[in-house]
């Protein structure tokens, strides 16, 4: 048994896993990217254990990769060259809730939806709601600055994190941010959120909790084309209405969803728009009526208002399970994540359909239309020879089309491995140099999740920590 494993087991006992099966489970995340290689897997229960594991890894010259639920879609949690895996799945407790201050302290392994369920009897919820919220964790949300349908009005994860307790890459513990309205000093909390595990490991998080709205109205608008649905989104925002959520789904995904959960979606529509407003009863009724009228002006063939909470929940169940519904069509999909200006949505969507057709791929579109966050799903069967080449080629063209339209690389999935090759298309060499300098301020030795985000030629990970350990060395 290696000295590294012996030292780790002195702290965690049998919560250090080195068997091939356990390590193989963590070779990848929910993305289409493979090729990872995990070292010892450490199942930590406390901040102090995380700190000790980090210090042991440093002593042995090993990199570290924090791991949550593994639901990431950009390859950000894929371990490269046998790093020590710091699993946070057991750190899953809600530690404290203060409804007066509207703050909750939670551990990073708390599942997103479980937090809102915990808060529901108190009349609160956690506003960021990724589609994977039934399984993704708060720590992962912090790492990727995750979004979700209701982030149009409420903002992404960064707007809901007040403070983070962090084990830094040198093994020290620090609290970034604070509960004061204006914490002193630099906004290191804001730097850490979205850091994709390269700046340290979150072990406690102070989240902002949001009161449940007194009234909610949910509309389902049907259109002949995706272009009309996208145009309606722009028209609603231009009218001064900021709904809680605005989601568009094209006909292909609508059919898959309806066959899967029977949510009441019209399968003959070219696209549907799911729009939701919340707030005081009188105001939401007015906004719902205005959205309905704008939709009709833009060509809506039907407008349906959810009659009660059960019907509303069913409509949202359809949206939240859209990706799972794809399994009826093909066994595999590549879910992309770029952002374009709302005014460019329809044109970029036309390009997405053309790109997929040219690469002989089926594409389904479901996206956060209100903030221009596209999520095209490229469907394929991994058993087909050469299909990955077509999938990645189509994905690269989608990224380039989004950037050409004035967009950005990611809305919520992060950069990870997936968008790393395109960073130079969005950022200058000086931009990338400053990003790497910031990263080194936290991690001079480049041991925290190396090989991610910063592209080759700009990253300290180019030559460090990315050489695999020979098979069998873990005992």
Domain count, the chain: 5
- Beta carbons of 160 and 208 less than 8 angstroms apart: yes
Helix (H) or strand (E) holding 138: helix 138-144
pLDDT tens readout for residues 381-395: 999 999 999 999 999
- Beta carbons of 242 and 276 less than 8 angstroms apart: no
Domain-located, residue 472? no
Query: Do residue 221 and residue 317 come from a single domain?
Result: yes
CATH label of the domain that carries residue 204: 3.30.465.10
Query: Do residue 290 and residue 376 come from a single domain?
Result: no
- Beta carbons of 160 and 207 less than 8 angstroms apart: yes
CATH label of the domain that carries residue 20: 3.30.43.10
Domain-located, residue 422? no
- Structure-token pair, residue 323: 């990706």
Measured from the Cβ of residue 25, the count of other Cβ atoms closer than 10 Å reads: 13
**Cβ-based neighbours of 61, under 8 Å, separated by 6 or more:** none
What is the pairing mode between strands 16-17 and 64-67? unpaired
Query: Do residue 197 and residue 291 come from a single domain?
Result: no
Domain-located, residue 255? yes
437 in helix, strand or coil?
helix
Report pLDDT for 472. 44
Domain-located, residue 471? no
Query: Do residue 207 and residue 219 come from a single domain?
Result: no
Domain boundary at 304, 323, 342, which?
323
> Containing domain of residue 59, as a range?
3-87
Query: Do residue 115 and residue 135 come from a single domain?
Result: yes
Measured from the Cβ of residue 238, the count of other Cβ atoms closer than 10 Å reads: 11
Domain boundary at 42, 61, 87, which?
87
Per the model's pLDDT, the better-predicted residue between 348 and 2 turns out to be: 348
Q: Which of 139, 46, 27 is nearest to 85 (CA)?
A: 27
What is the C-alpha to C-alpha distance for residues 60 and 57, in angstroms, rounded to an integer? Answer: 5
**Cβ-based neighbours of 113, under 8 Å, separated by 6 or more:** 129, 133, 134
Report pLDDT for 181. 81
Domain-located, residue 474? no
- Structure-token pair, residue 465: 């920590």
Report pLDDT for 458. 85
Query: Do residue 205 and residue 236 come from a single domain?
Result: no
pLDDT tens readout for residues 156-207: 999 999 999 999 999 999 999 999 888 888 999 999 999 999 999 999 999 9
pTM of the model: 0.94
- Beta carbons of 64 and 452 less than 8 angstroms apart: no
Domain-located, residue 470? no
Query: Do residue 48 and residue 101 come from a single domain?
Result: no
Q: How confident is residue 461, by pLDDT bands cut at 50, 70 and 90?
A: low
Report pLDDT for 460. 77
């Amino acid at each position: 048994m290696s000295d590294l494993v012996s030292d780790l087991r002195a702290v965690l006992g049998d919560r250090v896993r080195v068997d091939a099966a356990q390590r193989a489970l963590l070779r990848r995340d929910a993305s289409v990217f493979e090729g990872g290689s995990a070292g010892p897997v450490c199942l930590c229960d406390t901040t102090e254990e995380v700190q000790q594991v980090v210090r042991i890894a440093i002593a042995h010259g090993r990199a570290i990769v924090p791991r949550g639920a593994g639901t990431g879609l950009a390859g950000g949690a894929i371990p490269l060259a046998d790093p020590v895996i710091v699993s946070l799945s057991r750190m899953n407790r809600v530690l404290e809730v203060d409804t007066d201050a509207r703050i909750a302290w939670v551990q990073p392994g708390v599942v997103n939806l479980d937090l809102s369920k915990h808060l529901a009897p108190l009349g609160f919820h956690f506003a960021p709601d990724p589609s994977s919220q039934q399984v993704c964790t708060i720590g992962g949300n912090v790492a990727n600055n995750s979004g979700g349908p209701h982030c149009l009005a409420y903002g992404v994860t960064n707007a809901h994190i007040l403070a983070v307790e962090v084990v830094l890459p040198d093994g020290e513990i620090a609290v970034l941010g604070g509960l004061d309205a204006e914490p002193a000093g630099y906004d290191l909390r804001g730097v850490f959120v979205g850091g994709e595990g390269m700046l340290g490991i979150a072990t406690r998080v102070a989240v902002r909790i949001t009161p449940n709205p007194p009234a909610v109205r949910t509309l389902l608008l049907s259109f002949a084309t995706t272009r009309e649905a996208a145009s309606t989104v722009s028209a609603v925002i231009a009218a001064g209405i900021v709904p809680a959520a605005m989601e568009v789904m094209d006909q292909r995904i609508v059919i898959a969803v309806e066959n899967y959960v029977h949510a009441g979606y019209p399968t003959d529509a070219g696209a549907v728009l799911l729009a939701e407003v919340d707030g005081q009863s009188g105001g939401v009724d007015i906004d719902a009526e205005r959205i309905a009228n704008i939709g009709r002006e833009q060509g809506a063939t039907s407008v349906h208002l959810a009659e009660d909470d059960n019907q509303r929940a069913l409509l949202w169940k359809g949206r939240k399970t859209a990706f799972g519904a794809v399994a009826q069509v093909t066994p595999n999909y590549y879910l992309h994540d770029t952002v374009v200006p709302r005014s460019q949505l329809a044109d970029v969507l036309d390009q997405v359909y053309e790109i997929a057709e040219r690469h002989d791929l089926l594409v389904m579109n479901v996206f956060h239309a209100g903030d221009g966050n596209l999520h095209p799903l490229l469907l394929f069967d991994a058993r087909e020879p050469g299909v990955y080449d077509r999938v990645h080629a189509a994905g690269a063209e989608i990224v380039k089309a989004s950037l050409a339209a004035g967009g950005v690389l990611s809305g919520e999935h992060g950069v990870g491995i997936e968008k790393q090759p395109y960073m130079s298309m969005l950022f200058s060499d000086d931009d990338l140099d400053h990003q790497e300098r910031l990263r080194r301020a936290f991690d001079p030795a480049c041991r925290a999740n190396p090989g991610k985000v910063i592209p080759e030629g700009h990253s300290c990970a180019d030559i460090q920590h990315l050489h695999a350990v020979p098979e069998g060395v873990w005992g």
